[in-house]
A and B are shown apart, each in its own frame.
Chain A
Amino acid sequence: DIQMTQSPSSLSASVGDRVTITCQASQDISNYLNWYQQKPGKAPKLLIYDASNLETGVPSRFSGSGSGTDFTFTINSLQPEDIATYYCQQYDHLPITFGQGTRLEIK
């Protein structure tokens, strides 16, 4: 199985900050990497697909980059509504695997 390692596991930042989360795959997954946002008590929501493509309707302050084994998810100018847990997910090989999640809090 491909292991997805996210860091940090939790993060506290101020409104307006730039926030970066990394996701490392245990083997090359090309750009088959997606990012989701999950707010408490809610279903996950797709933000980024294929490493860097912004899903329709998602604010442009969210972005993704990377390929191979190393990926980055960035929120430019953090907003209060961005409080959530963020997950990466690979689909290069079955089983589909997710990172362990990054809990984002507002200072």
Chain B
Amino acid sequence: EVQLVQSGGGLLPPGGSLRLSCATSGFTFSSYAINWVRQAPGKGLEWVSTISGSGDTTYYADSVKGRFTISRDNSKNTLYLQMNSLRAEDTAVYYCAKDTNILVASWFDPWGQGTLVTVSS
């Protein structure tokens, strides 16, 4: 069974930093791109970032480019999202989601359980 289990999250002040993790199992991790998608409270889904299976290629939404860094450790089957210079508008539930493609984002299945990041003073 494919599983994505997230950790991290919490309450941070504006300007703070945080690293989210997404531990995976049940599939050949390095063969798939992985994505981060977020959802602000009561709002819709927003794609944040994608990393290729090898980790060599990354993509970001303009809203997080230069502040967030996606990475992966293929020896640990784990995905990360380093979030710096956090803003109030980054407050959201963050989901990791396995892609069906190795290089670029396509469709996301399955998703992690989500982790709440709250940025507030």
Chain B interface mostly:
strand
Per the bound structure, the CA–CA distance linking A36 and B37 in Å amounts to 13
In the bound complex, CA of A57 to CA of B106 (Å) = 19
B35: A residues at CB distance < 8 A: 96
Q: Are B95 and A98 in contact (CB under 8 A)?
A: no
Q: Does A72 contact B (CB under 8 A)?
A: no
Q: Tell me the minimal C-beta distance from B32 to chain A in angstroms.
A: 14
Is A62 engaged at the interface, CB distance under 8 Å to the other chain? no
* A66 and B44 alpha carbons, distance in the complex (Å): 23
Asked if A46 contacts B47 (CB within 8 A), the reply is no
Partner of A96, one of B105, B109, B111: B105
Known contacts: A94-B59, A94-B105. The answer to whether A43 contacts B44 by CB under 8 A is no
Q: Which of A34, A50, A96, A98 contacts B44 (CB 8 A)?
A: A98
CB of B61 within 8 Å of the partner chain: yes
CA A49 to CA B47, docked complex, whole Å: 17
Dominant SS among interface residues on chain A: loop
Q: A43, B45: Cβ atoms under 8 Å?
A: no
**Is A89 interfacial (CB-CB < 8 Å)?**
yes
Interface extent on A, as a size class?
Answer: 20 to 34
A3 near B: Cβ within 8 Å?
Answer: no
In this complex, which of A32, A45, A95 has the most chain B Cβ atoms within 10 angstroms of its Cβ?
Answer: A95
Of the residues B45, B46, B50, B107, contact of A46 by C-beta under 8 Å: B107
One of A91, A94, A95, A101 near B107 (C-beta < 8 A) = A91
Q: A43-B114, A94-B59 are in contact. Are A34 and B107 (CB under 8 A)?
A: yes
Interface membership of A71, Cβ < 8 A: no
Q: Which residues of B contact A43 (CB under 8 A)?
A: 95, 110-114
Most buried by B among A32, A49, A91, A100: A91
- Interface flag for A97 (CB, 8 Å): yes
**Does B1 reach chain A (CB closer than 8 Å)?**
no
Are B105 and A87 touching (Cβ within 8 A)? no
